Amino acid sequence: MASTSLRSLLRTQSAIPRLSRGYAAKAKTLKETLAELIPKKIENVKAIRAAHGAKSFGEYTVDQAYGGMRGIKGMIWEGSVLDADEGIRFRGKTIPECQDLLPKAPGGNEPLPEALFWLLLTGEVPTQEQVTELSADWAARASIPKFVEDLLDACPSTLHPMSQLSLAVTALNHDSAFAQAYQEGINKKQYWQTTFDDSMDLIAKLPAIAGRIYRNTYGGGNAPAIDPKADYSQNLSTQLGFGDNEKFVELMRLYLTIHSDHEGGNVSAHTGHLVGSALSDPFLSMAAALNGLAGPLHGLANQEVLNWVSRMQKEIGQDASDEKVKEYIWKTLNGGQVVPGYGHAVLRKTDPRYTAQREFALKHLPDDKLFKLVGQLYELVPDILLAAGKAKNPWPNVDAHSGVLLTHYGFTQQNFYTVLFGVSRTLGVVSQLIWDRALGMPLERPKSYSSDAIKKMFEKK
């Protein structure tokens, strides 16, 4: 009997290396990766607060309170940091570094949004296998409830696509795993898990939602089923009716990646974080963020750029001289208007997202007339804005370019552009929301003052 036990033990021990090798060969899922990272991150946050919690970010002024809180440091946002001179970094990586390091589709040159989401959530560059499995996971979650389909089908085509998107995302709250678990009394240490599940469902369903809105509003018939073997951008492009255009699909991969996150202070990101701090589920939080994104000072900016550039092209011609372009720029400024697409609340250099799109255009559509005009503006506008004293940052931002690229490929429905922005920005907002739950971030509740209170506060000082 002892000999039998010994043989059993030896067989078990001899199997361990094979099992270990087999386990190592299986890539960890995103949720498994996150589960390993969260305890380490919690300890890191505790250490940061213990060492630096009482230190001040600096003093703030009354002008900042009246000026939209510009420059006030008061949020934690893990996925990205925006430097005024350097631009955006996703988990410490620049856009060119992301383009170089993140996995791509076979034959593609642009990073996959799935890979960028993995990076935003974990700080790690995923393997190709992990990204492929994440694509498959999103495709498997992609179907939308019948009542949401009916809700969208009942919308008049005159209802703005962003209103339809917000409506659909809000309605997905009906099946929220987080809301259900909260009602059942889940331990707060587990909040992140159902928040993760809701977030994955939300991201996964956006291509089908966006496609249904697009086809209901602009025509095109019924969308095909989500392809379980296609990547996220391919499925989104197919839902919109552009899936056969490989360059458009590549553009979507770039677009969804670079628009995904821009630290936490912008309207959409901050709104999602604020609403989420009340323990609203990811669907409600993101719907609120989308409503902020819909504003003309945020997500609609690229549409305003395209309108302005198109009007210029009609007035001065497609191959206008630099002098004609300068005259139109001065005409805009002297008319009390701004040059859309130039300047940024934080950046003090050319937006790296603009540069990434310009490089895409130089590679794929160098002779496009509208792109050539955008190139002229890139050379002429900054000096004119500096001469006019109109901007601290006279350089182009991301909105100065994206509409031109979409138009080139026949995507001319400008009211829909913000929907694409919303699909992309969801990646950044929900990745932070998951971390908000994991770190136990509290209800956000800053102090406010009335104008009279401020007067009394400083009248004797």
Which are the catalytic amino acids?
298, 344, 399
DSSP state of 70: T
What phi and psi, each to the nearest 5 degrees, are found at residue 104? -125, 165
Segment 406-413 long-range contacts (CB within 8 Å, at least 24 positions apart): 406/251, 407/306, 407/370, 408/361, 408/365, 408/368, 408/370, 408/371, 409/242, 409/245, 409/247, 409/248, 409/251, 410/242, 411/240, 411/242, 411/248, 413/214, 413/217, 413/218
Return phi, psi of residue 93, to 5°.
-110, 135
Q: In the structure encoding, which two tokens stand for residue 69, read together?
A: 């809180």
Q: Which residue has the tokens 């999602």?
A: 272
Which ranges of 53-184 would DSSP assign to H, the alpha helix?
Answer: 62-66, 95-101, 113-122, 128-140, 146-153, 161-171, 177-183
Report the C-alpha gap between 223 and 144 in whole angstroms: 13
Backbone angles phi and psi of 140, in degrees to 5: -70, -25
Q: Which of 206, 242, 189, 154 has the alpha carbon at shortest distance from 38? A: 189
CA–CA gap between residue 381 and residue 369 (Å, rounded) = 18
Q: How far is CA 457 from CA 59, 238, 298, 320, in A?
A: 16, 59, 34, 57
Number of C-alpha atoms within 13 angstroms, CB side, residue 309?
A: 29
| Closest C-alpha among 410, 421, 82, 98 to residue 255 | 421
Upper half-sphere CA count for residue 346 (Cβ side, 13 Å): 20
Which residues touch 314 (CB under 8 Å, ≥6 apart)?
Answer: none
Residue 91 Cα distances to 148, 279, 333, 431, 432, angstroms = 35, 25, 38, 12, 12
Q: Which residues pair with 83 in a beta bridge?
A: 87
In angstroms, the CA 67 to CA 72 distance is: 10
